[in-house]
Structure 1
């Protein structure tokens, strides 16, 4: 019995968490929503502006408040433009209307009728 050594105890939940490398430099982040979700509800909220970076926490701007959030819940937000705050619903609607007008002109030219009378739209490459 003297020669037997104790076996090290394995503890559950002591796993290392994955942290994105881009979190050190990104100006905006998404925050994981840990509450139970409904069907098709997004997993992450945001994007939110990063105000301060600490060792295990970030301070973000959530509405009018500054909120501490742990690194485990954060995901970097890769935004397409630098002027993210300038985007308003009116500018998005105007961009969609411009795209819809150009697509409708193309769709009119690409409509064909099959022998059975169905209207078919082929992509531009055909």
Structure 2
């Protein structure tokens, strides 16, 4: 076999193994917390409506309420019934649309599965 080709195949194999191993390790060891991971997602995408006195049926603007609804948050964001904007994937893009990306949905799901830990509150 050609030496440069063997070298390239060897490097590619090592790189792929390292990346795959790192991804699996990272997914297995990190637990999202409310204060670090979840609160920013909720503030950006949910609490416009989900506040006390808002148009949504319950609030998500404080840790206690978010923890209470953690499993449901994970379910409705995974199914894409929330956030409810825009109405369909093939609709025109909206200014300030609140579509969650795959990473945000995974954070919410992992957080709920871990028992919705709060983590350490930021200093005031």
Instruction: Report the TM-score when normalising by structure 1.
Output: 0.23
Instruction: Report the TM-score when normalising by structure 2.
Output: 0.23
Question: Which is richer in helix?
Answer: 2
Question: Which is richer in strand?
Answer: 1
